[in-house]
Amino acid sequence: MLFRLDFQSAVPIYRQIRDQVVLAVAQGELTPGERLPTTRALAEDAGVNVMTVSKAYQLLKAEGYLVTDRRAGAVVRAPRGKAAGLSADQTARLNLLAGEARLAGLTLDDFVAACKAAFGETED
């Protein structure tokens, strides 16, 4: 996968790495069982601290997108199946996004259409 790290952005680098891995898994770019580079290799390629990558991987592991193994390193985990709903954190982020869309002048239909398009991109 291709990481794009924006150092001018207010979003921390570890968060950018986490978000891009999640998106890549959702879009099928990263498949279950696929191995991610080691924290050291990714940190060296990206020119960032090893701790930054380690933090991103730990977050991904805690969220269930990765499993880590001593021999295999970080491996993409298979989807967990149907969830009961969005988590509190995800709901909060969706609320924020909906608020931003409303303030930007989007109608409900526009917002739903945008959500459908974004969701569609993650379908195989």
Partner 1 sequence: METMSGFMLLTFWLCAGVNYIMLRNMSKRQKGLLLGVTLPPEADALPEVQAIVKQYRTRLGTLCLVCAALSVPLAFVQETAIALTLWMLFFLAGLALPYLPLLRANAELKALKKAHGWQGSGCRMVDTGASAFALPKPIGLWTLLVPLVLCLLPMALPGLPRGLMLVCGIDAACVLLLWGLGRWTFRRREDMVTEDSARNQTLLRVRRLYWDRFWRLNLWAMALLNLFLILGYRSEAAILGLSLGFTVLLVAATLWMELSVRRAQAALTETAPIVADEDDAWLGGIFYYNPTDKRFLVAKRLGIGTTVNLGTWAGKLYYAFVGLVLVVCLAIGPIFGIVDSIPVRLELSGSAPVCLVASHGQSEKYRLDTDAITDVQLRDTLPDAARTWGTGMDHYLQGDFYVIGEGNARFCLDPTQKCFLRVEAGGQVYWFTGDSEDHTAAIAQALQSTVHP
Among residues 85, 80, 84, which one has the least CA distance to residue 67?
80
Task: Tell me the Cα Rg of the chain.
Answer: 16
Instruction: Kindly tell me the burial class for residue 46, based on how many C-beta atoms sit within 10 Å of its own C-beta (0-12, 13-18, 19 or more).
Output: middle
Regarding 41 and contact with partner 1 (CB under 8 A), the answer is yes
> Which is closer to partner 1, CB of 49 or CB of 107?
49
For partner 1, the binding residue among 15, 22, 23, 37 (CB under 8 A) is: 37
For partner 1, how many residues bind (rule: CB under 8 A)?
20
38 contact partners, CB below 8 Å, separation of at least 6: 73, 74
Q: How many C-beta atoms lie closer than 10 Å to residue 21's C-beta?
A: 24
Regarding 45 and contact with partner 1 (CB under 8 A), the answer is yes
For partner 1, the binding residue among 27, 49, 90, 107 (CB under 8 A) is: 49
> Which is closer to partner 1, CB of 44 or CB of 110?
44
Which stretch in 40-48, 63-71, 86-94, 109-117 sits in contact with partner 1 by CB under 8 A? Answer: 40-48
For partner 1, the binding residue among 3, 26, 77, 106 (CB under 8 A) is: 3
Q: How many C-beta atoms lie closer than 10 Å to residue 94's C-beta?
A: 12
Rounded CA separation 8/15 (Å)? 14
* Shortest distance, position 43 Cβ to partner 1, whole Å: 8
Q: Which residues bind partner 1 (CB under 8 A)?
A: 1-8, 35-37, 41-49
